[in-house]
A and B are shown apart, each in its own frame.
Chain A
Amino acid sequence: MAEGLFRIGIDVGGTNTDAVLMGSDLEILAKHKATTSSDVVESISEAMAAVIAQSEVSAECVTQVMLGTTHATNAVLQRRDLGKVATIRIGGPATKSVPPLVTWPTDLRDVVSAGEIIVDGGFEFDGTEQVAFDAQATEKFLDSLADAPDAFAVASVFAPVSDAHELQAAELIRARFPDTPISLSGSIGSIGLIERENACVLNAALIEVAHKIVSGLGSALIQNGVDAIQYFAQNDGTLMAMERVLKFPVLTIGSGPANSMRGAAHLSGLAEAIVVDVGGTSTDIGVLTSGFPRESAIPVEIGGVRTNFRMPDLLAVALGGGTVIGGSTDGTDLKIGPESVGHKLSTEALCFGGTVSTLSDAANKKGRASFGTAEPDALSDDVAGLVLDRIDALFEDGIDRMKLSRSDQPVIAVGGGSVLMPESLAGVSQIIRPAHHDVANAVGAAIASISAEIDQIFPLDGTTREETLEAAKADAIGAAVALGAVPADTEVISLEELTMAYMTDNIIRLRIKAAGPLGQFVAD
């Protein structure tokens, strides 16, 4: 039996649930991959049990569990388990031309809406008041709510510059509904009112889902006799603590691709590379810079709702192991995808005795892959060759579109479908296929840094801006260390100094995120 302290990383994806069990040197001792069942908690528990059994590690020696999950994404996409949210926008008389939630798909709005209002208030870009906050109108709205909603969302104009009106509204809410969770836009997003408000309302609607995630993981731990600290993967590729996921569940959306890219970086040892993650239905191409995913510059839609989250910049290409080859059997009008047999690959593809020609069959035919239970005889050698030429050109084009410079760059191939990729491609210096690439997502969750964020206004009385900055950075680092980060390796990964001009010269608002690798022993 292996000795020491261990961690388990789990990634619950739409199709598969992956898990890895790692030792203190981050060596992989066991891995597991299975189809995600409709009972997600069961999938998590089974994955945990599988890696514990495989590694023969005693359950008591597992001290940390990292979970990346698609719970929140699925809740929004499938419009289920979402809470009813009452939304207060503080922005009148401006912004009335587009009321809250009118840009949402009707079915999602129907599920989430518990009433909306626009009250006067909000700030200018320089921190001066646009107009005074209308507390009376806010109270009247609160009184009009027949039943307590599941959560409140509050978004004021230029809240990232000053959230004073949001805080005043929160106080009024707390006075009437002391137990109802409140999401404030200023702590969630950046400039762009509609997008930030949308993210804030989604966050409020997901609070119950967050409790489900946390209690689900908790019961999976109990079932397996594991007493570990829980961490949750978020969209920037770092982990957050349980208290934070309960407040900001929307940040878990997009953690899957971030995990996969972070996992690819860890498995390959490369910090600067293109990551090509080939699944059953599609391929995601992303870029690693300094070991982290490059962030998207354009607004991201979640379930038809536009938000301004920082998400990994990904190019999705409809190429996967199950992608269907269409056209005649002699290769005329050859058509590749976008249809895919998806998770039915092992029953429907030629190489598993099925009747559908897929990219996996072409790869098997030409010796690029060797798996399955049958020869893909229905696919001719010539057509298979044509197909592979075609997909290589698609890979090359996709990689080139994501590249940062003209020079050849390394590509890390991960995911179950990565056998489709050839030995070399134009514009690529080398293609690296790291061991355990099939569970890169779970590896990414397991090795992720723990991050902590502080967002505070600091008075500058008797101190200089520089001194305050240094003290605030130390606070952020201290917060990450308190959550388990190794002190020596914890650093500030983002710092925003928000304009507070015109309010007074004697304060600054800082939003600082610090992150560091998790140590084995948690400062408690």
Chain B
Amino acid sequence: MKLIGDNELEWLSMGASVFGGGGGGDPHMGSLMAGHALDTGGEVPLVSLDSLDDEDLILPVAMVGAPTVMAEKFLSGDEGDRLKTAMEKALDRKISAVCCAELGGVNGVIPVMWATRIGLPIVDCDLMGRAFPELQMTTAAIAGVSINPVVITDERGNVVQFRTVSPKWAEKMVRTVVASMGAAASLCLYPMTVAQAKTATVVGSVSRAMEVGRLLLEASDDPIAALCDSVDGYPLIEGKLVDVERQTTEGFSRGSATIEGTGADSGRLLRLEFQNENLLAMEDGRVLASVPDIITAVDVHTARPIVTERLRYGQRVSVLALPCDPIWRSDKALEVVGPKVFSYDIDYVPVEELHG
């Protein structure tokens, strides 16, 4: 069993930015909240699925809403406890561990805060292995685990519980409730047993994110090469960001960035399409990588990931593509998270095949 303390939190935050693929928000606020919880509540055990009983129940948790609101009206800290109590009451069963619903951006670190405050361990898996914008885009949904019940709470103590006919309906209703709560709230969903989680989650993703984050923070020579090495990633281009276009529609930040190659990549031009997350990398009409594989832009010098809202002209970046968890690559999964879902009329080809 490992423990998550201040250092591990820092690694996790960095790793969650890498796997966030430009989305999930800047983990800074999440790290502040989780860091303060660790200082007062103590380290959190990180346990593997195998170390729990098959019948044990795990509780996937996340924050939902607008990042701008979270920067202003952040959490009271009691939300996790309320979610757990409501879920235990709804299912009439005890929860054994907290689970990260989205290992990308701010939600990669939020479960640490609630785990230490509730006094439960964190289980080493999550429902995405990256960041995605909607509730049906989970490995649990693909594996057929029910999203119900969904519990949402706000800082005031309002608790709303849903039973919906499908994850897509849950997405729709959660949005409405979150809006009325002030555009930011906390939720738990897809409660499941450890036996279910073994095939319905991205197993080992939390410890992997911590390893990757640690490597980035400690690598001295060539952090980008070290990073690619550890995540089987492909460097798509190294260059300068020469153009960023954006528009905000329906609460999503959509846009594209153009990166002009430098050094060995001189003369190349890569176009990066994003909708909160980076979704597509193209060159001369050719796809270099696409969702659900993870595309992350990192600073050329420090290898620190850059979230899409912080992309701007003049940055020196390296764009990397990381293979997603295999669970995302079935036809059924691609119907939920493939390029066509995001209005790109292309067929998904795994990044290893594009660059093999």
Footprint of B on A, CB under 8 Å? 91-99, 102-103, 122, 124-125, 128, 130-131, 157-158, 191-194, 297-298, 400-404, 406
Contact = CB atoms under 8 A, between A and B. Distances in A.
Given A125-B68, A191-B68, A97 B33 contact: yes
Contact of A97 (B37, B260, B314): B37
B72 interface: yes
A94 B71 CA distance: 12
Contacts of A124: 73, 182-183
Given A128-B182, A131-B156, 18 more contacts: A93-B76, A94-B156, A96-B76, A97-B77, A97-B113, A98-B33, A98-B74, A122-B73, A124-B73, A125-B66, A125-B182, A130-B156, A158-B73, A191-B72, A193-B74, A194-B32, A404-B314, A406-B242
Interface string B65-91: 010110111111110000000000000
B208 interface: no
30 contacts: A93-B157, A94-B73, A94-B75, A94-B155, A94-B156, A95-B155, A97-B36, A97-B37, A97-B74, A97-B75, A98-B36, A99-B36, A102-B36, A124-B73, A125-B66, A130-B73, A130-B155, A130-B156, A130-B182, A131-B156, A158-B73, A191-B72, A192-B71, A193-B72, A193-B73, A193-B74, A194-B71, A297-B310, A401-B314, A404-B313
Interface string B295-324: 000000000000000101110100000000
Query: Of A125, A130, A404, which is in contact with the most chain B CB atoms at under 10 Å from its CB?
Result: A125
Query: Of B155, B156, B242, which is in contact with the most chain A CB atoms at under 10 Å from its CB?
Result: B155
Contact of B71 (A130, A191, A402): A191
A95 B71 CA distance: 10
A298 B32 CA distance: 17
A125 B69 contact: yes
Contacts of A94: 73-76, 155-156
B37 A403 contact: no
A95 B73 contact: yes
Nearest to A400: B240
A249 B28 CA distance: 28
A307 B156 CA distance: 27
Nearest to B260: A406
A362 B32 CA distance: 47
A93 B155 contact: yes
A396 to B, nearest CB: 12
Contacts of B68: 125, 191
A97 B78 CA distance: 8
Query: Of B37, B39, B73, B78, which is in contact with the most chain A CB atoms at under 10 Å from its CB?
Result: B73
Contacts of A400: 240
Contacts of A403: 314
A331 B157 CA distance: 68
B300 to A, nearest CB: 10
A297 B312 contact: yes
A378 B217 CA distance: 40
Interface string B255-266: 000001000000
Contacts of A193: 71-74
Interface residues of B, number: 31
A92 B73 contact: no
A97 B76 contact: yes
A404 B39 CA distance: 43
Query: Of B32, B72, B77, B156, which is in contact with the most chain A CB atoms at under 10 Å from its CB?
Result: B72
B202 to A, nearest CB: 27
Contacts of A191: 68, 71-72
A407 B260 CA distance: 14
Contacts of B313: 404
A403 to B, nearest CB: 6
A193 B73 CA distance: 7
Contacts of B73: 91, 94-95, 122, 124-125, 130, 157-158, 193
Please list the 5 inter-chain residue pairs (A to B) with the smallest Cβ-Cβ separation, ordered nearest first.
A94-B155, A97-B77, A124-B182, A97-B33, A97-B75
Contacts of A401: 314, 316
A95 B182 contact: no
Contacts of B37: 97
Contacts of A297: 310, 312
Query: Of A92, A95, A191, which is in contact with the most chain B CB atoms at under 10 Å from its CB?
Result: A95
A402 B36 CA distance: 36
B71 A93 contact: no
Contacts of A91: 73
A194 B310 CA distance: 19
Given A125-B183, A194-B32, A298 B74 contact: no
Contact of A95 (B39, B74, B242, B314): B74
Contacts of B32: 98, 103, 194
Contacts of A98: 32-33, 36, 74
Interface string B36-52: 11010000000000000
Nearest to B183: A125
Query: Of A97, A98, A157, which is in contact with the most chain B CB atoms at under 10 Å from its CB?
Result: A97
Nearest to B79: A97
Contact of B310 (A157, A298, A406): A298
A97 B184 CA distance: 15
A432 to B, nearest CB: 22
Nearest to B113: A97
A102 B323 CA distance: 39
Contacts of B155: 93-95, 130
Query: Of A92, A98, A297, which is in contact with the most chain B CB atoms at under 10 Å from its CB?
Result: A98
A124 B70 CA distance: 11
Given A124-B182, A125-B182, A297-B310, A95 B316 contact: no
A128 B73 CA distance: 13
A403 B316 CA distance: 12
Query: Of A102, A131, A404, which is in contact with the most chain B CB atoms at under 10 Å from its CB?
Result: A102
Contacts of B75: 94-97
Contacts of A102: 36, 39
A91 B77 CA distance: 13
